[in-house]
Structure 1
Amino acid sequence: MGTMFGNSLHFLLFMLLFSPVAISELCNPHDKKVLLQIKKDLNNPYLLASWDPKTDCCEWYCLKCDPKTHRVYDLFLQTDTDLSGPIPPSVGDLPYLESLEFHKLPKLTGPMQPAIAKLTKLKYLLITSTGISGPIPDFLAQLKNLELLHLSFNNLSGTIPPSLSQLPNLLSLHLDRNSLTGPIPDSFGSFTKPGPDLILSHNQLSGPIPASLGQLDPDRIDFSRNKLEGDASFLFGRNKKTQILDLSRNLFSFDFSKVGFPKKSLIWLDLNHNKIHGSIPAGLTTVENLQQFNVSYNQLCGKIPQGGELGRFDKYSYLHNKCLCDPPLPNCKLIDAI
């Protein structure tokens, strides 16, 4: 009798330890309930077919659990042409979420979900290539741990909220390829130095750049394809560490001959289609790693400096200026003779 009882006890312990029910308990019950609600709110898309209530949610696709706490800290829904509807408000009920990504979901529509403001541990928020519309909300400034805020390739409109500069840990801000209007906020000069990468291209931004942005020194600035105007010379400097500076296809107007360049860091400088005047600074010949350079369609004049990395670029980097000359354009003496 005792042997039979002992065998039964061992069998029971085995079942408790290794049964699917026991394993599923690794998943936090609250998180699992929220995830199933998210699936329901999104009309049970095929992308979330692995989200089976009978299995451990930490084994589901499109998310990651912390190996110690088993709380969901990463949720990434990507590349599904059928997933439709607004961002579910239930995403705000995953309190340990550090990364939230919606990418290549063209039928994800509606405004930014206010419940996202509850995700106080969030470091990475990426909503890219979706049908999300409406303004960029002020509540994003409440997410003080944000390091990356990428809202590219959406249908966002309205002005950029000045409150974004209140994000003390922000390293990268991508708002490109939307329908944003108005100026770049003056408050952006108060970002924690060196400041986040600022990618604001392919919008309808207008007005001058705040001079306070000259105090920042991010790795990358891309303001291209907007309607920005005035002086942008304060973005340059010999002591800067900027790697990519793209101001092309705007209405900027300043004397190019008076700006300096970092010798080591600068690899990309594109100023085409503006109203920039003066001459090309000789200091550009000392920039060591320049891989892209374009000043075409401006009002520049004078001799093109010879030497250094500038020798890599053909005439298309210089065409349609007021009176630039010397290789790769026609020789200055030849033009004078004419």
Structure 2
Amino acid sequence: MDLSTTWIFCSFFLSSILVLAQVSRVSANAEGDALSALKNNLADPNGVLQSWDPTLVNPCTWFHVTCNNKNSVTRVDLGNANLSGQLSPQLGFLPNLQYLELYSNDITGRIPNELGNLTSLVSLDLYLNSLTGPIPDTLGKLKRLRFLRLNNNSLTGEIPMSLTTIETLQVLDLSNNQLTGQIPINGSFQRFTPISFDHNRLDPLPVSPPPPLPPSSASSSRENKNDTTTRRGGDGVTFLTSLFSLYFSLKPHTIFSTENALKFSKMERERSLGNKWEGRKIKGKVEWQMNFSILEFVR
């Protein structure tokens, strides 16, 4: 290989490295520009964003920003940072962003439609702010989203049906807003309870009648017991009536009284416990007695 060929090869190699570096820097700078636009839209009395220097090669050295091994932004953590102002549409230029945490601030204005471009987003936490306007329908494009918390704002309009198509959605909180219209009950929204929609102006969900309860074994047992008690009671009444007739036919001089009735009633109860009646002859008369373990009644 002559000297000219070697020089051409080295020049091509160096040029390739410079091009790749420039592409990487442009990409990083694009994300840095997106975050710088957010910073310019926010008031920061506590200097939380002081390290966000747009002249740096990439934003991966900024506080509250996390990047992957390719120097692309994956997290923005600015929750409870005493920030105020509005969200920037340029946030949609963070293609690898997974977590956007801006909760518990005083951010006003609308949620940018451009947030629907963050297709890698897993968590969108904008709760406890002063956001107004509708929930963007474009958020339905976030097919990896698992956590969507927009509660405690002043959002208006209807809940976008597109949100029900996010099958990965696990946590949803739209409570404490001014949303109107119907609550979707299809798709991923089937797994959420009314708590997710509390304190809005939404139409109440239709109340479904509760399913009939199957008969329990305890109630069946009670019914059977009642049936048995009724049958036994009927037999006891029949037996007691016959006993009265027989007794007074044998003892016509016996006066029917409450005391006698109670005695027979007690004898009937003992009979139902397994005792028995038996007759015997004493001096030409038939006497009746009941064998008791404690009480013996012979007239």
User: CA distance change for structure 1 residues 102 and 143 in 2, over 3 Å: closer, same or farther?
Assistant: same
1:2-61 per-position Cα deviation (integer Å, ceiling 9, x unaligned): xxxxxxxxxxxxxxxxxxxxxxx7x92322232222212325662211212455622222
Residue of 188, 191, 210 corresponding to 1:195: 191
CA distance in 2, matches of 1:177, 1:52: 36
Computing the radius of gyration from Cα coordinates, the structure with the larger value is 2
Q: Secondary structure at the match of 2:104?
A: strand
User: CA distance change for structure 1 residues 146 and 196 in 2, over 3 Å: closer, same or farther?
Assistant: farther
Residue 204 of structure 1: how far off its partner (Å)? 2.6
CA distance in 1, matches of 2:209, 2:94: 43
Residue 191 of structure 1: how far off its partner (Å)? 2.4
1:182·1:207 contact (CA, 8 Å) conserved in 2?
no
Aligned to 1:172: 171
Residue 159 of structure 1: how far off its partner (Å)? 2.1
Aligned to 1:91: 91
2:98·2:120 contact (CA, 8 Å) conserved in 1?
yes
Aligned to 2:37: 37
1:122·1:146 contact (CA, 8 Å) conserved in 2?
yes
Aligned to 2:62: 60
Residue 233 of structure 1: how far off its partner (Å)? 3.9
Alignment of 1:1-338 (within 5 A): 28-43=28-43, 46-53=47-54, 55=56, 57-66=59-68, 68-81=69-82, 83-106=83-106, 108-185=107-184, 188-191=185-188, 195=191, 199-209=196-206, 230-231=207-208, 233=210, 258=212
Q: Which runs of 5+ in 1 are unaligned?
A: 1-24, 210-229, 235-257, 261-280, 284-338
Q: Which runs of 5+ in 2 are unaligned?
A: 1-24, 218-299
Q: TM-score, normalised by structure 2?
A: 0.56
User: CA distance change for structure 1 residues 197 and 172 in 2, over 3 Å: closer, same or farther?
Assistant: farther
1:148·1:170 contact (CA, 8 Å) conserved in 2?
yes
Q: Secondary structure at the match of 2:74?
A: strand
Residue 72 of structure 2 aligns with an amino acid whose one-letter code is R
Aligned-residue CA RMSD in angstroms? 3.1
% of aligned pairs identical? 32
Q: TM-score, normalised by structure 1?
A: 0.50
Residue 190 of structure 1: how far off its partner (Å)? 2.6
Residue 232 of structure 1: how far off its partner (Å)? 6.6
CA distance in 2, matches of 1:129, 1:171: 20
Residue 90 of structure 1: how far off its partner (Å)? 1.1
CA distance in 2, matches of 1:122, 1:141: 12
Residue 63 of structure 1 aligns with an amino acid whose one-letter code is V
User: CA distance change for structure 1 residues 63 and 207 in 2, over 3 Å: closer, same or farther?
Assistant: same
Residue 189 of structure 1 aligns with an amino acid whose one-letter code is N
Residue 195 of structure 1 aligns with an amino acid whose one-letter code is R
CA distance in 1, matches of 2:208, 2:86: 41
Residue 205 of structure 1: how far off its partner (Å)? 2.2
1:50-74 per-position Cα deviation (integer Å, ceiling 9, x unaligned): 21245562222222111x1111011
Residue 133 of structure 1: how far off its partner (Å)? 0.8
User: CA distance change for structure 1 residues 147 and 196 in 2, over 3 Å: closer, same or farther?
Assistant: farther
User: CA distance change for structure 1 residues 162 and 49 in 2, over 3 Å: closer, same or farther?
Assistant: same
Structure holding more helix per residue: 2
CA distance in 1, matches of 2:49, 2:213: 53
Residue 102 of structure 1: how far off its partner (Å)? 1.3
Residue 180 of structure 1 aligns with an amino acid whose one-letter code is L
1:99·1:122 contact (CA, 8 Å) conserved in 2?
yes
Runs of 4+, deviation exceeding 3 Å = 53-56, 194-198
Residue 132 of structure 1: how far off its partner (Å)? 0.4
1:173·1:197 contact (CA, 8 Å) conserved in 2?
no
How many residues are aligned here?
191
Q: Secondary structure at the match of 1:116?
A: helix
Residue 231 of structure 1: how far off its partner (Å)? 2.8
User: CA distance change for structure 1 residues 34 and 207 in 2, over 3 Å: closer, same or farther?
Assistant: closer
Structure holding more strand per residue: 1
Residue 118 of structure 1: how far off its partner (Å)? 1.3
CA distance in 2, matches of 1:102, 1:37: 15
Which has the bigger relative contact order, CA under 8 A and spacing at least 6? 2
Residue 71 of structure 2 aligns with an amino acid whose one-letter code is H
Q: Secondary structure at the match of 1:74?
A: strand
